[in-house]
């Protein structure tokens, strides 16, 4: 048998259910690996060893009594923007570097209620703003495939931790690609559910109308298990959807025969890198071999998604981040002379440069005299994008494309050019604008580095995405490839 930490979430579940492994064995194996590798990878901001071992002990007791849930005792780790009662919750920011949350996010409670054992809190771009995890106050996360490269962002800690087998399952969030892009860069599976599928209560907001919690794991099957735990209506989140949660594992093995996969021509124009095109074609060949058919579709306004996103998201962020003012919690500047000084220095010293950049962009976009030209226009574009997607998905079951333009880039390569960094999300942002579910799954390596393909589904069509990705994973081994040397 392979080492415990090589096992996927589903495999660990089977081992626990069969009682071939205990939660204490599993948990301590992962904690030991975290201790060994985190100094190199910097995927975790906080490691909650004592709490995790206690929870694992409790889980084993429950299991021995035949109590608990089918998931009792399985490990997970949370992106550090999910509030965790009594544990540091930093959002990757200096301004929350002393913030111990007084409550659990809904996602965190759901995981606790299912019996999952939390290993700790995962590194991320500050306030989920970034595509490389270089914007964290706690330093960059390294890509386990090549530690000179970025793991993607903003859920870089989640992706790197799963890729390096530091946790079999990680929560993550996606506002413009922050689950899918790091999943693609690290050879993991990641799913951003439909907007409203997972409660945002306790998830520190970046851009409220786009933020959505999701998961990163080794396989689509793992995600199917995890999504069943965190999806569902929450009366504390007015935007959460009151829709039944299906058993996502039940449909994983449905046949793809007759399923129609739409290929947006805008994602395959001549700007697409030839190696990436080849990798995508390999995946498409597999999907076709499984019985799916493909058809070209057009997402006419998708090119406008990035500019519109960089109005809407910063606008919402500029308001969402106003509560970090040094008054009630978080970082406060030393000896402020008056109220303005307290505000200016607490925020000036507490926020990093990318966060400040987006607050400024958003403040500008909402200002009197500019609102109609920027914010309203961006919302109009957003509606057009949503219409494009809904039209395409009227005739297709899924849309297919690359997750990213290229493989993981080198740390520092794009930090001087914010716009180049923003273009990292060119294939992912539109899905958030449309509020639809999107997943990124392992495609063939390019030059030894992972790539991902993206599936976008209809609203609440997570089952279809996971079904297709699982079918591909049953006949390919791209998802089993692990970085060497870590």
Partner 1 sequence: MYEAVIGLEVHVQLSTDSKIFSGSSTHFGAEPNTQASLIDLGMPGVLPVPNAKAFEMAVKFGLAIDAEIGQESIFDRKNYFYPDLPKGYQISQFEKPIVGPGRVTISLDDGTTKTINVTRAHLEEDAGKSVHDAFDGMTGVDLNRAGTPLLEIVSEPELRSAKEAVAYLKVIHSIIRYLDISDGNMAEGSMRCDCNVSIRPKGSDTLGTRTEIKNVNSFRFVEKAINTEINRQIEILEDGGRVIQETRLYDPDKDETRSMRSKEEANDYRYFPDPDLLPVVLDDSFISACRDALPELPEARKARYINDYGITDYDAGVLVADRDVADYFADVANTSGEGKLAANWVMGSVLAELNQTGGAITDFAVTAKQLSDLIARIKDNTLNSKTAKTVFEALLASEGEVDAIIESKGLVQVTDTGAIEAIVDEVIAENPDQVANYRAAPEDKQGKMLGFFVGQVMKKSQGKANPQAVNQILSAKLSG
178 among known catalytic residues: yes
Q: Which stretch binds partner 1 (CB under 8 A): 50-58, 101-109, 270-278, 405-413?
A: 101-109
The answer to whether 218 and 8 have CB atoms below 8 angstroms apart is: yes
Using the rule CB under 8 A, is 375 a contact of partner 1?
A: yes
Cβ 419 to partner 1, closest distance in Å? Answer: 24
Cβ 363 to partner 1, closest distance in Å? Answer: 7
List, in sequence order, the alpha helices (H) in 47-174. 49-64, 106-113, 156-163
Q: Which among 158, 178, 189, 463 is annotated as catalytic? A: 178
Using the rule CB under 8 A, is 422 a contact of partner 1?
A: no
Cβ 474 to partner 1, closest distance in Å? Answer: 38
Using the rule CB under 8 A, is 268 a contact of partner 1?
A: no
The residue (of 160 and 204) whose beta carbon lies closer to partner 1 is 204
The residue (of 281 and 322) whose beta carbon lies closer to partner 1 is 322
Q: Distance between CA atoms of 392 and 94, rounded to whole angstroms?
A: 43
Exactly one of 52, 101, 129, 472 binds partner 1 (CB under 8 A); that residue is 101
Measured in residues, the chain has a length of 486
* Residue closest to 470 by CA, chosen among 265, 249, 295, 196: 249
Point out which residues pair with 296 in neighbouring strands. Answer: 263
| Pair type for strands 189-192 and 438-446 | antiparallel
Could you give the string, one character per residue 381-420, with x where binding to partner 1 holds by CB under 8 A and - elsewhere?
----------------------------------------
List, in sequence order, the alpha helices (H) in 124-255. 156-163, 180-186, 220-230
Angstrom CA distances, 398 to 7, 113, 292, 394, stand at 29, 33, 10, 10
356 among known catalytic residues: no
* Residue closest to 451 by CA, chosen among 419, 398, 409: 409
Q: Distance between CA atoms of 40 and 329, rounded to whole angstroms?
A: 31
The residue (of 367 and 395) whose beta carbon lies closer to partner 1 is 367
Q: Which stretch binds partner 1 (CB under 8 A): 177-185, 284-292, 361-369, 382-390?
A: 361-369
Point out which residues pair with 442 in neighbouring strands. Answer: 452
| Pair type for strands 212-217 and 169-174 | antiparallel
E strands, 184-230, are 189-192, 212-217
Q: Which stretch binds partner 1 (CB under 8 A): 10-18, 144-152, 362-370, 441-449?
A: 362-370
The answer to whether 409 and 149 have CB atoms below 8 angstroms apart is: yes
The residue (of 148 and 235) whose beta carbon lies closer to partner 1 is 235
Q: Which among 10, 23, 79, 132 is annotated as catalytic? A: 79
Exactly one of 295, 322, 353, 380 binds partner 1 (CB under 8 A); that residue is 322
Using the rule CB under 8 A, is 243 a contact of partner 1?
A: no
Exactly one of 147, 209, 243, 476 binds partner 1 (CB under 8 A); that residue is 209
Please, what's the b/e burial string for 63-76 (b: 16 or more CB within 10 A of its CB; e: otherwise)?
beeeebeebbbbbb
Exactly one of 125, 126, 316, 397 binds partner 1 (CB under 8 A); that residue is 316
Using the rule CB under 8 A, is 198 a contact of partner 1?
A: no
Q: Which stretch binds partner 1 (CB under 8 A): 54-62, 147-155, 231-239, 450-458?
A: 231-239
Q: Encoding tokens for residue 312?
A: 């809407």
Using the rule CB under 8 A, is 348 a contact of partner 1?
A: no
List, in sequence order, the alpha helices (H) in 396-461. 418-422, 429-434
Using the rule CB under 8 A, is 204 a contact of partner 1?
A: yes
The residue (of 82 and 441) whose beta carbon lies closer to partner 1 is 82
Cβ 259 to partner 1, closest distance in Å? Answer: 33
Could you give the string, one character per residue 75-94, with x where binding to partner 1 holds by CB under 8 A and - elsewhere?
------xxx-----x-x---
**Residue 372: DSSP 8-state:** I
Measure CA of the first residue to CA of the last residue in the chain; give whole Å.
20
Using the rule CB under 8 A, is 202 a contact of partner 1?
A: yes
Using the rule CB under 8 A, is 343 a contact of partner 1?
A: yes
* Cβ-proximal residues to 437 (8 Å cutoff; 6+ apart), any chain: 191, 192, 193, 194, 197, 431, 456, 457, 458, 459, 460, 461, 462, 465
Exactly one of 339, 360, 373, 410 binds partner 1 (CB under 8 A); that residue is 339
Angle, CA 121 vertex, CA 119 and CA 122 arms, to 5°:
115
Cβ 154 to partner 1, closest distance in Å? Answer: 16
Q: Which residue has the tokens 């209560």?
A: 201
Point out which residues pair with 399 in neighbouring strands. Answer: 262, 456
SS3 227: helix
Using the rule CB under 8 A, is 366 a contact of partner 1?
A: yes
**How far does Cα 135 stand from its chain's mean position?**
16
189 among known catalytic residues: no
Q: Which among 93, 154, 158, 463 is annotated as catalytic? A: 154
Using the rule CB under 8 A, is 30 a contact of partner 1?
A: no
Cβ 315 to partner 1, closest distance in Å? Answer: 6
What phi, psi does 260 have (nearest 5°)? -105, 125
Which positions touch partner 1 (CB under 8 A)? 81-83, 89, 91, 96, 99, 101-103, 105, 200-205, 207-209, 235-239, 315-316, 318-319, 321-325, 327-330, 339, 343, 363, 366-368, 371, 375
Q: So which residues are the catalytic ones?
A: 79, 154, 178
């Amino acid at each position: 048998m392979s080492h415990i930490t090589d096992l996927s979430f589903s495999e660990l579940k089977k081992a626990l259910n069969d009682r071939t492994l205990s939660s204490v064995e599993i948990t301590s194996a992962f904690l030991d690996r975290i201790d060994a590798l985190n100094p190199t990878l910097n995927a975790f901001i906080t490691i909650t060893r004592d709490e995790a071992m206690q929870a694992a002990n409790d889980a084993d007791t429950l299991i021995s009594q035949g109590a608990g849930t089918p998931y009792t005792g399985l490990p997970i780790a949370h992106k550090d923007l999910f509030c965790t009662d009594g544990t540091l919750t930093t959002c990757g920011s200096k301004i929350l570097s002393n913030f111990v949350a007084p409550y659990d996010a809904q996602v965190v409670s759901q995981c606790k209620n299912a019996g999952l054992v939390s290993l700790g809190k995962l590194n991320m771009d500050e306030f989920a703003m970034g595509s490389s995890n270089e914007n964290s106050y706690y330093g960059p996360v390294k890509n386990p495939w090549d530690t000179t490269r970025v793991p993607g962002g903003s859920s870089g800690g989640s992706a790197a931790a799963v890729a390096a087998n530091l946790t079999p399952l990680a929560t993550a969030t996606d506002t413009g690609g922050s689950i899918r892009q790091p999943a693609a860069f690290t050879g993991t599976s990641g799913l951003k559910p439909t907007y409203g599928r997972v409660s945002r209560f306790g998830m520190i907001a970046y851009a409220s109308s786009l933020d959505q919690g999701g998961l990163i794991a080794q396989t689509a099957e793992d995600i199917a298990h995890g999504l069943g735990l965190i999806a569902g209506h929450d009366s504390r989140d007015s935007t959460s959807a009151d829709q039944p949660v299906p058993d996502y594992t039940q449909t994983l093995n449905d046949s793809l025969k007759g399923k129609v996969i739409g290929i947006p021509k805008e994602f395959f124009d001549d700007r697409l890198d030839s190696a990436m095109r080849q990798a995508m074609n390999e995946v498409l060949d597999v999907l076709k071999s499984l019985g799916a058919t493909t058809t070209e579709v057009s997402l006419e306004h998708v090119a406008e998604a990035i500019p519109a996103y960089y109005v809407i998201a910063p606008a919402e962020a500029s308001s969402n981040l106003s509560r970090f003012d040094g008054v009630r919690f978080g970082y406060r500047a030393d000896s402020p002379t008056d109220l303005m000084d307290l505000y200016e220095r607490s925020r000036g010293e507490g926020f990093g440069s990318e966060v400040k950049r987006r607050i400024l962009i958003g403040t500008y976009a909402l200002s009197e005299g500019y609102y109609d030209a920027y914010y309203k226009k961006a919302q109009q574009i957003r509606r057009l994008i949503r219409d494009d997607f809904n039209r395409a998905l009227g005739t297709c079951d899924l849309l297919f494309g690359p997750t990213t333009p290229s493989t993981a880039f080198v740390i520092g390569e794009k930090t001087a050019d914010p716009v180049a960094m923003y273009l990292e999300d060119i294939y992912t942002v539109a899905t958030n604008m449309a509020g639809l579910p999107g997943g990124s799954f392992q495609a063939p390596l390019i030059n030894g580095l992972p790539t991902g393909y993206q599936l976008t589904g209809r609203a609440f069509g997570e089952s279809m995405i996971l079904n297709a990705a699982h079918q591909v994973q049953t006949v390919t081994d791209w998802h089993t490839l692990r970085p060497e040397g870590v």
